[in-house]
Structure 1
């Protein structure tokens, strides 16, 4: 039961009546009407901009049109009051009798309350860390964000495919192979001294070196690099991807599809095919690029290049597809990769990238527009940095990686739930400060504790009710009256539950799972506040031992709250504990 959708339809029907009466012209864009909670709760329960949207086409002042719409709505039996505010906003206040219906809907749906029916396929690509070492805390944030977003979209009714793109081509994996080969020589007893600059220094490749030594003995040492490098590269990539999957499992993250960059050219060269298609459409040409602004990079060359007409699709400049040695640019491979997604049936795609890739967004959107002929869309979500602190002091180094803190180290220290919730308790494009000490505090200032404690508190109330009234009290009928839930705190809680379906819809549409975390904290705060009121005013407690019927109504509210807390925590990938110490 999405109350905002319900009243959006009623407001649109009222506007359509005005079209029929000639007050609004035929063709008035009624679909642009927005219905949402008012910014100030004292203004009512629902607000709409309908009059502001439609006034221009009607040739009327917004307030005049608002009055006409208000007259159409005043007879609605579910509305206690219709107010016009400012230049023409319409605020609606629902009758007290309406809110018990919401609670009945929450209880009837259980943890499916708020589930949507988007009915679209969507591909969410996230993590996609280079397989050159263990995942660091920056990868952690992108992984959690992408996974929670996929969960949210799934709950909103999308057919979601979770994908990981393995960057297993290019110079960085050759550096990985050379680094692993150094550890292989070390495993054979050869002193290697200090790790040369340009190779990966962490000790995570020691195990790869030992595995190569066990399998091949000293045989690889006598081979030229051209022969041992492909073999070592494959072994090292497989080892790194196994470690990455293991790290992701620690966060309860899995992917449906792993796509290899190498697969784009083996066995069929999909990059060449993509370039032929663009060439045939006149979207590739030979030309020169202007020098980049500011200081020229050392590798910049003023030469004829094979260029993609990215400017035709909104980019600032056209983009190279071939390097000076004739090999493909990373961008060419990325175009082919997204074309492959489209060929697999995905016209809606989300990529989760680190913030340092922000300059790549426009060209990638331009490419998707080009290869899909405008039929596909790509939303790139940039995930900002994570700054680690311990009791206020910055944390920078890791023994395992050599120069950064690994994902696994963070999860092992504070637990999966704290990591996942706190990585989502800030918008993805804002820098996140993560303090090891604060995320394990048992206080209101620790959001994950506060929300989980609310679920545990609701569970405790329901357990205690069995002691007071027996098992029967656990089965409050979803169609119960609930008319005795008229205290302001109780109504406020029901109203908060009523927001959940719209929250799911809007968060999924905006691709912003942090909204769920914020909502859960607000719901938890209101539950804790109402529980505390009961300590001072016993008649407000959820369990009134001499009033079984009232207790059953209030316990129904507690069950509804617990359902939504459990539902939202599941979307974030966080457990909903039955009790906490």
Structure 2
């Protein structure tokens, strides 16, 4: 049970009773009503804005709604007290027995605690990473991979039918440049001196491996052939080899896609033509000229008739071209077709996780989805800001193999996948981020990865020690939880009970980083309570001579372990059993 969603239902029931009694108008929208923990725990357990959000429509002062609403809520057996605060907020004090029952829910569910049917099985497509197959993944790709994967896991826990997808950008000029770059490395592998890599091509040493592999397979077969013969061979071989490496790196990170979609396959299937015809049918395509960008006119600006999409009709800043001067489709046209393909596959809800350098592309793609689906589809774009890798206060040197950036593999070799995943989620995706290698591996409270993992390990240690002392730790969901009456114990139970709400709220907002903040708060409260037990023997988890109280306290410890384990599962992080 999500206790806060439960009390929204109780509040709405009381409001309907007020409507039936003629105390409120019959037509009121309850959708903006919230029930959440107050910012100050001294104010109670649950705060609601019901009177505030209904006052205008009801033509009443908020307090004139709040006071009779509170009187009805106090009749609820789970509500032991309450007060109207400020202009009309209602704070409720909930019975300790209610919270203890939520702990029992947790103990029965295990790490499945927090699973919900909020999504009601709705299909959601989460597309992330989608790096051009022109080189190895770097740390910015890692951030997008982790954010996308955790978000997909979070949505699945909240009851959505999630598909994880990678879009392979294997069409267009950038992969032709990859083929040309590979050809140089192929010649080099056969003994040619190629000199400096020309500007505009890919200089990374990783292509030496690709060129050598082609040379080993084909010998000198392509040396004297025209570019039209060797380019598709070099390009396709490089794409296949680099995509295999990308998939290996993602697998090491714990990211496993459900679908890989090829841009070239989308184009070759005629999907772009179909999308164009659909937009034309809606009257959204025209031939016209665009004004040059504001400020200095670019050198490559062409004042010409273009085939344009009326993206301004859907919130974009300018209309967008769909064809290049040579008559081929623009990247944008291909992307429209790709999102139309997702919609045709049954995904009205789409989430794309992009790098920060695509920020200027968001409006046009959202406008395209709104247009091509005739308002039936929705796209949410999560932008991930760049990542700097730091060590001892200095930026980590660039990877020699990659040439210009730190690769994901470098980072995984340095700290491991679990540390990469959790650390990447300790900041909101659109906030800049310095990944401090030393901080991410140190054993201190300042390192949230270690601190949360230590919390889980400590729960396992307590239970192991209790079992070694002869305490039965099976069936703790039947322990006498009414014996838990210390303020610290009850505070921990309330934190545990917040987990379903955290899942629903983070899934609704598409913000998995909220889970990291919650797990840190829970771990900190648990560590603090454990420390109190060292200082006050009466608060220790194993109480000599009182088996029932011991089992009740062990049930609390197990509940904390289940919740931390549940959160780490959302993150794709393996909970540790003991710290070394």
Q: TM-score range by the shorter chain?
A: over 0.9
Partner of 1:227: 229
Partner of 1:515: 514
Aligned length: 578
Within 1, Cα distance between the matches of 2:198 and 2:364? 36
- Measured against aligned partners, the alpha-carbon deviations of 1:226-268 in whole angstroms (never above 9, x if no partner) come to 11001111000001100100111110101010000001122x3
Tell me by how many angstroms 1:96 deviates.
Answer: 2.0
RMSD of aligned alpha carbons: 1.0
Contact 2:45 2:93 in 1 (8 A): yes
**Secondary structure at 1:220's aligned position in 2?**
coil
Please tell me whether residue 91 in structure 1 is matched to residue 85 in structure 2: no
**Secondary structure at 1:54's aligned position in 2?**
helix
Please tell me whether residue 480 in structure 1 is matched to residue 479 in structure 2: yes
Partner of 2:278: 277
Contact 2:476 2:554 in 1 (8 A): no
Contact 1:427 1:514 in 2 (8 A): yes
Partner of 2:381: 380
Partner of 2:577: 578
Within 1, Cα distance between the matches of 2:23 and 2:363? 44
Partner of 1:24: 24
Higher alpha-carbon deviation: 364-373 or 545-554: 545-554
Please tell me whether residue 527 in structure 1 is matched to residue 526 in structure 2: yes
Partner of 1:345: 346
Contact 2:133 2:239 in 1 (8 A): yes
Within 1, Cα distance between the matches of 2:456 and 2:242? 38
Partner of 1:506: 505
Partner of 2:316: 315
Please tell me whether residue 215 in structure 1 is matched to residue 217 in structure 2: yes
- Measured against aligned partners, the alpha-carbon deviations of 1:436-483 in whole angstroms (never above 9, x if no partner) come to 11111000011100000111110000000012124xx21244243311
Alignment map for 1:64-463 (pairs within 5 Å): 64-117=64-117, 118=119, 119-266=121-268, 268-463=269-464
Contact 1:124 1:162 in 2 (8 A): yes
**Secondary structure at 2:346's aligned position in 1?**
coil
Gaps of 5+ in 2: none
Contact 1:15 1:30 in 2 (8 A): no
Contact 1:352 1:381 in 2 (8 A): yes
Within 2, Cα distance between the matches of 1:231 and 1:191? 21
- Measured against aligned partners, the alpha-carbon deviations of 1:87-106 in whole angstroms (never above 9, x if no partner) come to 10001111122221111111
**Secondary structure at 1:409's aligned position in 2?**
helix
Within 2, Cα distance between the matches of 1:390 and 1:416? 18
Higher alpha-carbon deviation: 138-147 or 275-284: 275-284
Tell me by how many angstroms 1:82 deviates.
Answer: 1.1
Within 2, Cα distance between the matches of 1:514 and 1:359? 24
Contact 2:479 2:548 in 1 (8 A): no
Contact 1:396 1:403 in 2 (8 A): no
Contact 1:23 1:58 in 2 (8 A): no
**Secondary structure at 2:555's aligned position in 1?**
helix
Within 2, Cα distance between the matches of 1:297 and 1:391? 42
**Secondary structure at 1:437's aligned position in 2?**
helix
**Secondary structure at 1:149's aligned position in 2?**
helix
Within 2, Cα distance between the matches of 1:487 and 1:495? 12
Cα distance, 1:132–1:442 mapped onto 2, change above 3 Å:
same
Within 2, Cα distance between the matches of 1:103 and 1:133? 49
Partner of 1:53: 53
Contact 2:285 2:308 in 1 (8 A): yes
Within 2, Cα distance between the matches of 1:298 and 1:570? 51
- Measured against aligned partners, the alpha-carbon deviations of 1:27-84 in whole angstroms (never above 9, x if no partner) come to 1112321111112111111111100111112211101110010111111111111111
Partner of 2:548: 549
**Secondary structure at 1:259's aligned position in 2?**
strand
Tell me by how many angstroms 1:112 deviates.
Answer: 1.1
**Secondary structure at 1:162's aligned position in 2?**
strand
Tell me by how many angstroms 1:203 deviates.
Answer: 1.2
Contact 1:476 1:553 in 2 (8 A): no
- Measured against aligned partners, the alpha-carbon deviations of 1:471-516 in whole angstroms (never above 9, x if no partner) come to xx21244243311111111111100000000100010011100011
**Secondary structure at 1:71's aligned position in 2?**
helix
Tell me by how many angstroms 1:396 deviates.
Answer: 4.3
Within 1, Cα distance between the matches of 2:209 and 2:537? 63
Contact 1:476 1:552 in 2 (8 A): no
TM-score by length of 1: 0.98
**Secondary structure at 1:478's aligned position in 2?**
helix
Contact 1:178 1:199 in 2 (8 A): yes
- Measured against aligned partners, the alpha-carbon deviations of 1:313-339 in whole angstroms (never above 9, x if no partner) come to 111111100011111111000000000
Tell me by how many angstroms 1:26 deviates.
Answer: 1.3
The runs of at least 4 consecutive aligned structure 1 residues that moved more than 4 Å come to none
Within 1, Cα distance between the matches of 2:206 and 2:355? 23
